């Protein structure tokens, strides 16, 4: 078994195309914008994000939160390339918005024999991710699930695999080569997901 190195979320930018980074940033900004006031007051993720994002300059706007969504997403996408805190918060907000994709990869992982921590939450997720090379089973599942998806949906599934990697409790199973059973499991999850959306 290899040693698992937790990478800061700012390093995820090496895997992202510019258009996908903008999409992830837009999802984060929309999560903040669409949150009801009572959730903003009580949710520590949203509070952390509001505090961190308030200092991000947006050209043409007096403040981050007075900017339109297009300006916010551009500013977040730029800031997340070199600001570790902003990158982690953007990814955590993305995870909040991408629950369906994360659940799909998690379900496929469970069917392939992976076990996930019941205590996994956004705080633990913000701590970082394992490289794709360290999680070949999750990566293969995400690739298989995204085979016939749009490029952005496939990227969501890959980012979901990165998000879930540290949540796996039986880490020896993360590095196991994909077997026929794993491939069959991926096909079953893809088929059941297709049936649900048909």
Give the pLDDT confidence of 130-189 residue by residue, as tens digits.
999 999 999 999 999 999 999 999 999 999 999 999 999 999 998 865 444 444 444 554
Q: List beta partners, residue 116.
A: 168
Residue 33 confidence class, pLDDT cut points 50, 70, 90: confident
Domain ranges of the chain: 9-97, 99-197
pLDDT above 70: residue 193:
no
- Which contiguous run of DSSP H or E holds residue 19? helix 18-34
What is the signed CA dihedral for 192, 195, 196, 198, rounded to 10 degrees?
A: 160
Rounded mean pLDDT, 105-121? 95
Six token digits for residue 193: 């997901």
CB 71 within 8 A of CB 58: yes
Six token digits for residue 188: 């079953």
CB 176 within 8 A of CB 2: no
Return all residues near 190 (Cβ < 8 A) that are at least 6 apart: 144, 145, 147
Identify which of 32-36, 97-101, 182-186 has the greatest average pLDDT. Answer: 97-101
7 phi and psi angles, rounded to 5 deg: -95, 145
pLDDT above 70: residue 125:
yes
* Overall size of the chain counted in residues: 198
Question: Taking the chain, what is the end-to-end CA distance rounded to the nearest angstrom?
Answer: 41
pLDDT above 80: residue 129:
yes
CB 134 within 8 A of CB 175: yes
CB-CB neighbours of 30 under 10 Å: 15
């Amino acid at each position: 078994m290899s040693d698992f190195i937790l990478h800061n979320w700012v390093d995820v930018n090496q895997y992202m195309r510019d258009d996908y980074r903008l999409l992830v940033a837009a999802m984060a900004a929309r999560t903040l914008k669409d949150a009801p006031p009572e959730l903003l007051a009580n949710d520590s993720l949203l509070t952390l994000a509001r505090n961190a994002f308030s200092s991000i300059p947006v050209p043409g706007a007096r403040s981050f939160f007075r900017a339109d969504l297009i300006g916010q997403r551009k500013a977040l996408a730029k800031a997340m390339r070199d600001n570790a805190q902003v990158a982690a918060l953007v990814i955590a907000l993305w995870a909040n918005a991408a629950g369906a994709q994360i659940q799909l990869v998690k379900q496929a992982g469970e069917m392939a024999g992976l076990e996930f921590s019941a205590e996994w939450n956004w705080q633990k997720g913000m701590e970082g991710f394992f490289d794709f090379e360290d999680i070949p089973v999750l990566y293969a599942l995400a690739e298989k699930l995204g085979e016939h998806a749009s490029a952005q949906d496939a990227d969501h599934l890959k980012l979901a695999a990165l998000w879930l990697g540290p949540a796996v409790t039986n880490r020896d199973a993360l590095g196991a080569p994909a077997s026929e059973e794993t491939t069959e499991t991926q096909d079953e999850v893809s088929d059941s997901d297709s049936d649900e959306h048909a």
